[in-house]
Structure 1
């Protein structure tokens, strides 16, 4: 198979917040609806106009972007650098796996909420459609390696494959990982199978 068939676009994920409907109202007021700022690459997902403040034991981060639509459970995703700033030690987890994750306070214009758990560093992963999975010969839950071949070549190990008809092909990493490899959204990386280049 030609290398070009293994190329995957990068999506760099900055710190962000997913809110439940109840928490949207607690932070922004009763009946409040998030407003679309811009649509994201994954179908149906968008960056909202609204931002919030994140507060930890040692510091705060202002203007953390909310991503919509609403989620069943509120979740905050930060980089390790952000975690140092906040004074917290969140686990590296797949999105939605919040049991035993770190606490965080979220402050909005109309109120604040304290989560006993809900703060994570998102584990790197690849979104792809079922058609993409057939093309790349991988399955939901598989782990692969990904190489950046730019100015600072890096191999990302243990990258989880996530497959859904609702997904668009994209390799998701946080800002720390992107900066280490000097990657930006829209760059392309190479999927490595069986650890071989």
Structure 2
């Protein structure tokens, strides 16, 4: 049975709704493709925004495309302690109820968001064939072992996301990757929790 998956590190980034793209970058503005990401149809844009919170700000946060139904800002725990007095919830992408507020500043305007700032939960994107080979199903919570020699760690509470549109890839954030001494292109061993 297959039990390893490619790991890439996720840095702070933002997904914008088209309405916010136009406020921040000008009416009719379309996001500008810079480079493809590993997940099909996802890409980094040339556009960046500044994020303002009650304690500080983040400059030049990369926009990822395509646009989404709702704006979602994904930051690191190390960012959260610098920019906000409150807590930032660890959430799955798209689950924004009760998430933190923030303000965005772009070259053409500013927009305040009442929700949408999260720290992304660790997760694995899997196509159905790979998920079957690994014995995993959608939304199954697993653990991964990853790290440079002498820095290996086990990360628990890693959510499996299975969809025909996905490529097999595990996302942990930059803070987590730095803690265990890895970079993009590392391999993780995936295992189920024993009960």
TM-score (norm 1): 0.95
Secondary structure of 1:150 counterpart: coil
Does residue 44 in structure 1 map to residue 48 in structure 2? no
Q: Deviations over 1:74-99 (max 9, x none)?
A: 00000010011112421000000001
Quickly say closer, same or farther: Cα 1:149–1:28, change in 2 above 3 A: closer
Look up the match of 1:11.
8
Specify which of 135, 138, 151 is matched with residue 137 of structure 1. Answer: 135
After superposing on structure 2, the runs of 4+ consecutive aligned residues of structure 1 that deviate more than 3 Å are none
Does residue 83 in structure 1 map to residue 84 in structure 2? no
Is the 8 Å Cα contact of residues 96 and 115 (structure 2) preserved in structure 1?
yes
Specify which of 34, 54, 68 is matched with residue 51 of structure 2. Answer: 54
Size of the aligned set, in residue pairs, is 193
Look up the match of 2:172.
173
The CA distance in 2 between the partners of 1:194 and 1:136, in whole Å, is 14
Unmatched tracts of structure 1, length 5 or more: none
Look up the match of 1:184.
183
1:130 deviation in Å?
0.5
1:181 deviation in Å?
1.0
Is the 8 Å Cα contact of residues 145 and 195 (structure 1) preserved in structure 2?
no
The CA distance in 2 between the partners of 1:104 and 1:86, in whole Å, is 10
1:149 deviation in Å?
4.4
Is the 8 Å Cα contact of residues 52 and 106 (structure 1) preserved in structure 2?
yes
Secondary structure of 2:188 counterpart: strand
Does residue 65 in structure 1 map to residue 62 in structure 2? yes
Is the 8 Å Cα contact of residues 147 and 182 (structure 2) preserved in structure 1?
no
Look up the match of 2:103.
105
Look up the match of 1:122.
120
Unmatched tracts of structure 2, length 5 or more: none
The CA distance in 2 between the partners of 1:194 and 1:112, in whole Å, is 45
The CA distance in 2 between the partners of 1:123 and 1:85, in whole Å, is 20
Is the 8 Å Cα contact of residues 144 and 195 (structure 1) preserved in structure 2?
no
The CA distance in 1 between the partners of 2:13 and 2:110, in whole Å, is 16
1:150 deviation in Å?
2.1
Quickly say closer, same or farther: Cα 1:195–1:188, change in 2 above 3 A: farther
Is the 8 Å Cα contact of residues 127 and 171 (structure 1) preserved in structure 2?
yes
Is the 8 Å Cα contact of residues 133 and 139 (structure 1) preserved in structure 2?
yes
